[in-house]
Structure 1
Amino acid sequence: MAVEDDHVLISLTGITKEFPGVKALENVSLDVRKGEVLALVGENGAGKSTLIKILSGLYHKDNGEIRVRGKSVEIQDARHAQELGISTIFQEPTLAPHLTAVENVYLGREIYHSYFGGTVKILNEKEMYQETEKLYRNFFSTVEDLKRPVIELGALKNRVIEIAKALSVKASVVIMDEPTAALAEHEREVLFDFIRALKEQGVSVIYVSHHLKELFLLADRFHVMRDGKHIATVSADETDIDQLVSMMVGREISNFIAKETVPIGEESLRVIGLNQPGVLKNINFHIKKGEIVGIAGLAGSGRTETVRAVVGADRISSGAVEVDGKPFRIQSPRDAIRAGIGLLPENRKLHGALIEMSVSNNITLASIKRVLSKKFVLKKKAELDIASDYVQRLGIKTPTVHQKVRFLSGGNQQKVILAKWLFTKPKVLIFDEPTIGIDVGAKVEVYNLMAEFVRGGGGILMVSSDLPELMGLSDRIYVMHKGEFVHEFSRDEATEENIMYYASGGHQ
Structure 2
Amino acid sequence: MAVADDQVLVSLKGITKRFPGVLALDNVSFDVRKGEVLALVGENGAGKSTLIKILSGLYRKDGGEIQVRGETVDIQDTKDAQKLGISTIFQEPTLAPHLTAVQNLYLGREIVTPVLGRAWHSMDEQAMYHETEKLYRNFFDTLEDLQRPVNELGALKNRVIEIVKALSVQASVVIMDEPTAALAEHEREVLFDFIRMLKEQGVSVIYVSHHLRELFLLADRMCVMRDGKYVATVNKHETSVDELVSMMVGREVTNYIVKETVPVGKEVLRVSNLSRSGVLSDINLHIREGEIVGIAGLAGSGRTETLRAVVGADPISSGTVAIHGRTCQIRSPHDAIRAGIGFLPENRKMHGVLLELSVSQNITMANLERVVSRRLVLRKRKEAQIAEEFVKRLRIKTPSVNQKVRFLSGGNQQKVILAKWLFTQPKVLFFDEPTQGIDVGAKVEVYSLIAEFVRKGGGVLLVSSELPELMGLCDRIYVMHKGEFVKEFTRKEATEENIMLYASGGHR
Same fold (TM over 0.5): yes
Partner in structure 1 of residue 499 of structure 2: 499
Query: 1:371 and 2:332 equivalent?
Result: no
- TM-superposed CA distance for 1:386, in Å, is 1.6
Partner in structure 2 of residue 59 of structure 1: 59
CA distance in 1, matches of 2:230, 2:349: 29
Query: 1:173 and 2:173 equivalent?
Result: yes
**Range moving further from structure 2, 384-393 or 424-433:** 384-393
- TM-superposed CA distance for 1:475, in Å, is 1.6
Partner in structure 2 of residue 309 of structure 1: 309
Partner in structure 1 of residue 149 of structure 2: 149
Partner in structure 1 of residue 49 of structure 2: 49
Partner in structure 2 of residue 81 of structure 1: 81
Helix, strand or coil for the counterpart of 2:265? coil
Cα 1:462–1:119, aligned 2, differ >3 Å: closer, same or farther?
Answer: same
CA distance in 1, matches of 2:3, 2:401: 43
Contact 2:185 2:465 in 1 (8 A): no
Helix, strand or coil for the counterpart of 1:356? coil
Contact 1:4 1:11 in 2 (8 A): no
Partner in structure 1 of residue 133 of structure 2: 133
Contact 1:114 1:122 in 2 (8 A): yes
CA distance in 2, matches of 1:379, 1:58: 43
Residues 75-99 of structure 1: CA distance to partner in whole angstroms, max 9, x if unpaired?
2122221122111001111100100
Residues 334-374 of structure 1: CA distance to partner in whole angstroms, max 9, x if unpaired?
11111110111111111111123222221112112322233
Query: 1:421 and 2:418 equivalent?
Result: no
Give the ranges of 4+ consecutive aligned residues of structure 1 lying more than 6 Å apart after TM superposition: 1-4
- TM-superposed CA distance for 1:3, in Å, is 8.1
CA distance in 2, matches of 1:74, 1:276: 57
Query: 1:279 and 2:250 equivalent?
Result: no
CA distance in 2, matches of 1:204, 1:507: 39
Contact 1:2 1:29 in 2 (8 A): no
- TM-superposed CA distance for 1:497, in Å, is 2.7
**Range moving further from structure 2, 238-247 or 424-433:** 238-247
Residue type matched to 2:414 in 1? Q
- TM-superposed CA distance for 1:401, in Å, is 2.1
Helix, strand or coil for the counterpart of 1:242? helix
CA distance in 2, matches of 1:355, 1:4: 48
CA distance in 2, matches of 1:107, 1:356: 32
Helix, strand or coil for the counterpart of 1:215? helix
Contact 1:2 1:12 in 2 (8 A): no
Alignment of 1:249-288 (within 5 A): 249-288=249-288
Residue type matched to 2:267 in 1? E
- TM-superposed CA distance for 1:322, in Å, is 1.1
CA distance in 2, matches of 1:142, 1:175: 26
Partner in structure 2 of residue 110 of structure 1: 110
Partner in structure 2 of residue 392 of structure 1: 392
Residue type matched to 2:174 in 1? V
CA distance in 1, matches of 2:225, 2:453: 32
**Range moving further from structure 2, 461-470 or 372-381:** 372-381
CA distance in 1, matches of 2:278, 2:2: 56
Partner in structure 2 of residue 216 of structure 1: 216
Partner in structure 1 of residue 452 of structure 2: 452
Query: 1:349 and 2:358 equivalent?
Result: no
Contact 1:300 1:482 in 2 (8 A): yes
Partner in structure 2 of residue 246 of structure 1: 246
Residue type matched to 1:305 in 2? E
Partner in structure 2 of residue 477 of structure 1: 477
Cα 1:23–1:334, aligned 2, differ >3 Å: closer, same or farther?
Answer: same
TM-score (norm. length: structure 2): 0.96
Residue type matched to 1:93 in 2? P
CA distance in 1, matches of 2:491, 2:130: 54
Contact 1:113 1:122 in 2 (8 A): yes
Residue type matched to 1:403 in 2? Q
Cα 1:266–1:65, aligned 2, differ >3 Å: closer, same or farther?
Answer: same
CA distance in 1, matches of 2:2, 2:60: 19
CA distance in 1, matches of 2:372, 2:19: 36
CA distance in 2, matches of 1:62, 1:402: 31
Partner in structure 2 of residue 201 of structure 1: 201
Partner in structure 2 of residue 326 of structure 1: 326
Helix, strand or coil for the counterpart of 1:40? strand
Residue type matched to 1:62 in 2? D
Partner in structure 2 of residue 295 of structure 1: 295
- TM-superposed CA distance for 1:266, in Å, is 1.5
Contact 2:95 2:162 in 1 (8 A): yes
Contact 2:184 2:465 in 1 (8 A): no
Partner in structure 2 of residue 465 of structure 1: 465
Residue type matched to 1:475 in 2? D
Partner in structure 2 of residue 405 of structure 1: 405
Partner in structure 2 of residue 10 of structure 1: 10
Contact 2:85 2:170 in 1 (8 A): yes
Helix, strand or coil for the counterpart of 2:460? strand
Helix, strand or coil for the counterpart of 1:217? helix
- TM-superposed CA distance for 1:162, in Å, is 0.5
Alignment of 1:172-191 (within 5 A): 172-191=172-191
Helix, strand or coil for the counterpart of 1:49? helix
Residue type matched to 1:413 in 2? Q
**Range moving further from structure 2, 287-296 or 96-105:** 287-296
Residue type matched to 1:26 in 2? D
Residues 420-452 of structure 1: CA distance to partner in whole angstroms, max 9, x if unpaired?
101111111001111111121111111100011
Residue type matched to 2:495 in 1? T
Residues 282-338 of structure 1: CA distance to partner in whole angstroms, max 9, x if unpaired?
111111111111112222221111111010011001111111222211111111111
Partner in structure 2 of residue 237 of structure 1: 237
**Range moving further from structure 2, 196-205 or 328-337:** 196-205
**Range moving further from structure 2, 259-268 or 312-321:** 259-268
Residues 261-283 of structure 1: CA distance to partner in whole angstroms, max 9, x if unpaired?
22222221111111111111111
Residue type matched to 1:202 in 2? G
Cα 1:2–1:230, aligned 2, differ >3 Å: closer, same or farther?
Answer: farther
CA distance in 1, matches of 2:55, 2:4: 18
Residue type matched to 2:311 in 1? V
- TM-superposed CA distance for 1:381, in Å, is 2.1
- TM-superposed CA distance for 1:118, in Å, is 4.3
Residues 216-246 of structure 1: CA distance to partner in whole angstroms, max 9, x if unpaired?
2221111001111110011222222222111
Cα 1:130–1:308, aligned 2, differ >3 Å: closer, same or farther?
Answer: same
Helix, strand or coil for the counterpart of 2:343? strand
Helix, strand or coil for the counterpart of 2:60? coil
Contact 2:222 2:234 in 1 (8 A): yes
**Range moving further from structure 2, 247-256 or 484-493:** 484-493
Helix, strand or coil for the counterpart of 2:274? strand
**Range moving further from structure 2, 302-311 or 354-363:** 354-363
Cα 1:374–1:119, aligned 2, differ >3 Å: closer, same or farther?
Answer: farther
